[in-house]
Amino acid sequence: MKKVVAIVVMAGIISLTGCASSSPWDGMPYQEATAWQGIGVQAFDARALRSNGFTPTDAKEWIQVGISSPQTIIEWNKAGFSPRNASKWIAKNFSLDKAIEYKSKGLTVE
């Protein structure tokens, strides 16, 4: 009988521990997490964007022009490119460094 009770107790502990696992969205306000999810951004990417000052509204503009990589969004934004402008340079296969160089010379891409 003691073995049966011990097995039942262990099974209960194991199942409760599994239910207690944290969500990748923990620590983020519910409404904000929902907004990130609404634009198709995963928790890890949302945290990267959020830690660099982006809101879901900011990121949405980048995603709408086809740029979804947090690293790309952050780098091109820091370099002073708008989402639409960055997407044009990227679509023409320019690296960020080349785009910065050409932009500093007054060149644009259409």
Please name the amino acid found at residue 70: P
Number of domains in the chain: 1
Instruction: Please report whether residue 19 resides in a domain.
Output: no
Instruction: Please report whether residue 22 resides in a domain.
Output: no
CA 47 to centroid of chain Cα atoms: 6
Which structural domain, as residue segments, surrounds residue 42? 28-104
Instruction: Please report whether residue 110 resides in a domain.
Output: no
Residue 90, Cβ neighbours under 10 Å: how many?
19
Instruction: Please report whether residue 99 resides in a domain.
Output: yes
Is there a contact between 34 and 56 (Cβ–Cβ < 8 Å)?
no
How do residues 10-69 score in pLDDT, each as one tens digit?
A: 655 555 455 567 889 999 999 999 999 999 999 999 999 999 999 999 999 999 999 999
pTM: 0.78
How do residues 65-100 score in pLDDT, each as one tens digit?
A: 999 999 999 999 999 999 999 999 999 999 999 999
Residue 43: predicted pLDDT: 97
Instruction: Please report whether residue 60 resides in a domain.
Output: yes
